[in-house]
A and B are shown apart, each in its own frame.
Chain A
Amino acid sequence: AQSVAQPEDQVNVAEGNPLTVKCTYSVSGNPYLFWYVQYPNRGLQFLLKYITGDNLVKGSYGFEAEFNKSQTSFHLKKPSALVSDSALYFCAVRTSGAGSYQLTFGKGTKLSVIP
């Protein structure tokens, strides 16, 4: 079975400071990892994914994430937070193997960027 843990329900950060939203995962085989963001009254928007290759993945809006196989983590980062980054962030995983393509999501982390 695959699972995702986002240990923080909420992260508060001052505007201009670096931000990190944590994610750890468990999956059989090699993982495909994703970050999605949900702004108020909007759907899930794709931020970035890790499939293979470079462990540091760059995505939309200046976000990046680092895949760490030994720690089974895929933390989301941004060097300088904006107030407009305030939203709900979801980490998701699926196995790279064939047969099941369902994503397993974490509970979500609410990011609040304080002006």
Chain B
Amino acid sequence: EAGVTQFPSHSVIEKGQTVTLRCDPISGHDNLYWYRRVMGKEIKFLLHFVKESKQDESGMPNNRFLAERTGGTYSTLKVQPAELEDSGVYFCASSLSLATGRAFFGQGTRLTVV
């Protein structure tokens, strides 16, 4: 079984540019989550999709962040325009069941804004 896949693994962009991160969840997993870890701090929840609908986006930091999941398969997270404080590792996770709670994580995308 393929795991959660994230692209790219690393991205270095200049302040003010746009970056799009992609996540391919495990096939059949309706639940998809985005998390972020800023250097040395906690991993913070960003949002949760159930299929193509946003179930919970309470963790999105501001309107420079836009997440989509068209068709309920892969998801993208766009940051526009990027700021220095957006640097960190962005993790995507997916789960089959909300009841059991276990989420499978991707390897993360390390974003550096310079």
Interface, chain A (partner B; CB < 8 A): 4, 32, 34, 36, 41-46, 49, 51, 90, 92, 94, 98, 100-108
Contacts and interface: CB of A to CB of B under 8 A. Distances in A.
A37 to B, nearest CB: 11
B105 to A, nearest CB: 4
Nearest to B98: A101
Contacts, number: 64
B101 A102 contact: no
A102 B91 CA distance: 13
Interface stretch (B11-19, B42-50, B63-71, B73-81): B42-50
Interface band, chain B: 20 to 34
A102 B43 contact: no
* Max chain B Cβ within 10 angstroms of own Cβ: one of A42, A90, A102: A102
Given A100-B56, A102-B45, A102-B59, A94 B107 contact: no
17 contacts: A36-B105, A43-B6, A43-B105, A43-B107, A43-B108, A44-B105, A46-B104, A51-B100, A94-B101, A101-B55, A101-B101, A102-B48, A103-B35, A105-B35, A105-B44, A107-B42, A108-B42
B96 interface: no
Contacts of B105: 36, 43-46
Interface of B: 3-4, 6, 31, 33, 35, 40-45, 48, 55-56, 58-59, 91, 93, 98, 100-108
A94 B56 CA distance: 14
B60 to A, nearest CB: 12
